[in-house]
């Protein structure tokens, strides 16, 4: 706080529950101007703003769940000097109109939560975070406070460089949390459900169980329910209302155990989580520490246990290999982006379908093209919307002048009507309703705020323009650069998984090894982890810890015949060897999902075979 008040940017590496929010909230009240807070989750922003307002601190947020009128009210309050802290998602800095408004404001400081997301060395790299340092420099926003609870020395160096923070202005406190007792328990895959249920019954209290795959979350939660435990699954494949209900029940104590993928956790501030179990191996040590850190926020003793099985390595390695786009797909994507004309708009969903590249990977490509000076974001807009009348049309029209009634009738009759909802393509509606896009959107918003319709926007599109004047660079050269980028990320992700396996097999102090990974030298052994307890009991065996491992399957002659049959079927979604290898390993992609190939009998045929072997087989047959 002292460094910020002296006008210098700062990186704060503080463990979970160490008071990171206070580090910018208090200086914000002492500075002259607006403090901009970059936060990754809408739910987290809502909670922070609500908490500050309860303390009579002038805070506001801007997010995609707000109406146009609510957004205008926030801007009016900012102009009037009635807002000290403004919370936004990093994506809002893609909006050119917002950037222009920001230029007219007096921004005293920018705080970046979860700052490790800016680094490709980090475990939760998010491409939109790369833009933050660029925007801060362009708008000359200083000081900047970068905050994270999980940053290795390499990630910390990336953050310091990006924001121009002096090494002397890095503030680090110990990541050691003595109330967390780490434990590694080797366990065969077929015995994990039984052991997990026994642990939960013995220890009691609230617990989070982390798994790798969505279907595992469902299977484990069902097993625990049959064992009489109050458990719920939580993953990105569930409907929003189911996820929200499960989280609310867990927060209130109606559910004791959440079985979740990594979709659960960020922003969940439950103080009395007594245990965090990793049913499957974590993807990296950064993931492990962040997920385990959700236990014991009240300072009471809590257990962080891994049910370690080497079988998980294959699944995690296959996922790492499987998300890498093909060379052909990258070339297609880059060619599309650089030859669209001076200004253009895109849909991430449509591009993902056309190129078979996941939306997050496309965002990474877009961000790198922006940082390379080739593209510039102009904002985003919705191309479609759905609405349904909440009362009879005659009642909605009543009280309006004839001209307005005629306009609303044309609006209600435009689009495609279903049983309850009408889907409106806004570009087509301009012609059908004989009104410009702005008037149509204003009318829909007004009807929504009046309680006459329920409105759901859709078809999000991003606007971009070529930033470079003159000749457009060769798409082949750019795509080769991106291929090298993704190959390097693949190599690093495999390295991070290797670090997890080294921790699982090391018989030394778990706490000490984790601290050293994050650049902190421990003051002796912790005395509470399973490694220390084994040594104190004198039963510690020589050599590395053995993890149970099933026999790795090979590719049989029958598998080869099935692969040949898949090749002969000539599915457009499987035209490249890497696409076929993903399919055979049970890894979804936009093209296979759209073609409903995930229902094919051969989907996941070789999920117990290393991806590199499956890819080699596919390449030899195509």
Is 128 domain-assigned? yes
Per-block average pLDDT, block size 10, for the chain (622 residues)?
A: 96 84 94 92 82 93 79 88 92 80 90 86 67 87 92 90 94 92 96 97 95 93 97 88 88 94 71 96 92 92 97 93 92 93 90 92 88 84 87 88 91 87 89 86 82 84 81 87 92 94 96 94 94 82 85 90 94 94 93 92 93 95 90
Handedness of CA 12, 15, 21, 23 (dihedral sign): negative
Residue that is written with structure tokens 């919705």 in the block: 382
Q: Tell me, what CATH number does 10's domain have?
A: 3.40.50.300
**Does 302 lie in the same domain as 245?**
yes
User: Among 451, 471, 500, where does a domain finish?
Assistant: 451
- Tell me what pLDDT residue 121 has: 58
**Does 75 lie in the same domain as 18?**
yes
- Tell me what pLDDT residue 124 has: 60
* 3-state class (DSSP) for residue 302: strand
- Tell me what pLDDT residue 24 has: 95
Q: Looking at the 3D structure of the chain, how many domains does it have?
A: 4
User: Among 451, 483, 499, where does a domain finish?
Assistant: 451
**Does 230 lie in the same domain as 133?**
no
Distances (CA, A) of 214 to 233, 260, 281: 9, 8, 15
Encoding tokens for residue 315?
A: 């699944």
| Distance between CA atoms of residues 138 and 442, nearest Å | 32
**Does 63 lie in the same domain as 25?**
yes
Is 509 domain-assigned? no
* 3-state class (DSSP) for residue 366: helix
- Tell me what pLDDT residue 503 has: 97
Is 137 domain-assigned? yes
- Tell me what pLDDT residue 267 has: 56
- Tell me what pLDDT residue 60 has: 95
**Does 147 lie in the same domain as 29?**
yes
**Does 562 lie in the same domain as 418?**
no
- Tell me what pLDDT residue 190 has: 94
**What are the backbone angles phi and psi of residue 343, rounded to the nearest 5°?**
-125, 140
**Does 184 lie in the same domain as 166?**
no
Is 445 domain-assigned? yes
**Does 161 lie in the same domain as 30?**
yes
Query: Domain containing 409: what range?
Result: 391-451
Is 424 domain-assigned? yes
User: Among 142, 172, 202, where does a domain finish?
Assistant: 172
Is 139 domain-assigned? yes
**Does 411 lie in the same domain as 447?**
yes
**Which residues touch 23 (CB under 8 Å, ≥6 apart)?**
1, 4, 12, 14, 111, 145, 147
Is 518 domain-assigned? no
**Does 229 lie in the same domain as 100?**
no
> What number of other Cβ atoms are within 10 A of residue 306's Cβ?
27
Is 328 domain-assigned? no
**Does 115 lie in the same domain as 60?**
yes
Encoding tokens for residue 67?
A: 């109406």
Q: Select from 164, 59, 91 the least CA-distant residue to 359.
A: 91
| Distance between CA atoms of residues 419 and 413, nearest Å | 14
**Does 96 lie in the same domain as 32?**
yes
């Amino acid at each position: 706080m002292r460094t910020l008040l002296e006008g210098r940017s700062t990186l704060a590496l503080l463990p979970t529950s160490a008071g990171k929010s206070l580090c910018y909230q208090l200086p914000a009240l002492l500075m002259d101007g607006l403090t901009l807070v970059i936060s990754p989750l809408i739910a987290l922003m809502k909670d922070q703003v609500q908490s500050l307002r309860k303390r009579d601190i002038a805070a506001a947020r801007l997010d995609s769940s707000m109406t146009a009128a609510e957004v205008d009210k926030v801007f009016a309050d900012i102009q009037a000097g009635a807002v000290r802290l403004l919370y936004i998602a990093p994506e809002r800095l893609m909006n050119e109109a917002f950037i222009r408004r920001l230029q007219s404001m007096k921004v005293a400081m920018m705080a970046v939560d979860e700052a490790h997301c800016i680094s490709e060395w980090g475990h939760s790299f998010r491409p939109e975070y790369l833009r933050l340092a660029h925007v801060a420099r362009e708008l000359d926003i200083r000081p900047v406070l970068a905050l994270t609870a999980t940053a290795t020395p390499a990630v910390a160096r990336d953050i310091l460089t990006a924001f121009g923070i002096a090494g002397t202005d890095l503030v680090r406190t110990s990541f050691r949390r003595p109330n967390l007792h780490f434990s590694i328990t080797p366990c065969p895959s077929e015995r994990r459900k039984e052991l997990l249920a026994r642990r939960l019954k013995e220890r009691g209290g609230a617990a989070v169980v982390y798994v790798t795959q969505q279907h595992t979350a469902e299977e484990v939660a069902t097993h625990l329910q049959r064992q009489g435990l109050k458990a719920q699954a939580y993953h990105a494949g569930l409907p929003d209302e189911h996820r929200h209900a499960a989280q609310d029940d867990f927060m209130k104590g109606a559910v004791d155990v959440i079985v979740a993928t990594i979709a659960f956790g960020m922003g969940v501030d439950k103080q009395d989580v007594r245990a965090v179990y990793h049913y499957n191996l974590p993807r990296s040590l950064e993931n492990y520490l962040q997920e385990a850190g959700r236990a014991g926020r009240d300072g009471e003793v809590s257990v962080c246990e891994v049910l370690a099985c080497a079988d998980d390595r294959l699944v995690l390695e296959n996922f790492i290999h499987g998300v890498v786009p093909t060379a052909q797909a990258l070339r297609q994507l880059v060619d599309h982006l650089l030859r669209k004309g001076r200004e253009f708009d895109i849909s991430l969903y449509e591009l993902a379908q056309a190129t078979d590249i996941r939306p997050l990977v496309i965002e990474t490509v877009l961000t790198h093209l922006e940082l390379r000076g080739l593209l510039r974001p102009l904002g985003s807009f919705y191309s479609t919307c759905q609405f349904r009348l909440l009362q009879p049309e005659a009642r909605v029209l009543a009280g309006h002048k004839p001209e307005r009634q005629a306009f609303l009738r044309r609006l209600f009759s435009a689009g495609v009507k279903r049983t309850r909802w009408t889907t409106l393509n806004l570009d087509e509606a301009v012609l059908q309703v004989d009104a410009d896009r702005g008037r149509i959107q204003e009318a829909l918003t007004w009807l929504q705020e009046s309680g006459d319709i329920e409105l759901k926007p859709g078809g999000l599109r991003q606007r971009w323009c070529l930033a470079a004047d003159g000749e457009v660079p060769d798409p082949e050269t750019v795509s080769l650069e991106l291929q090298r980028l993704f190959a390097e990320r693949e190599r690093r992700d495999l390295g991070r998984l290797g670090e997890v396996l080294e921790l699982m097999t090391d018989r030394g102090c778990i706490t000490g090894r984790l601290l050293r990974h994050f650049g902190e030298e421990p003051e002796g052994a912790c005395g509470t982890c399973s490694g220390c307890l084994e040594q104190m009991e004198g039963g510690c065996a020589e050599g590395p810890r053995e993890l149970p491992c099933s026999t790795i399957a090979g590719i049989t002659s029958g598998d080869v015949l099935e692969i040949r049959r898949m090749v002969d079927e000539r599915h457009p979604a499987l035209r490249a060897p890497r696409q076929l290898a993903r399919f055979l390993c049970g890894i979804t992609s936009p093209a296979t999902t759209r073609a409903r190939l995930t229902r094919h009998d051969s989907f996941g045929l070789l999920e117990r075979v290393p991806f590199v072997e499956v890819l080699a087989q596919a390449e030899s047959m195509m």
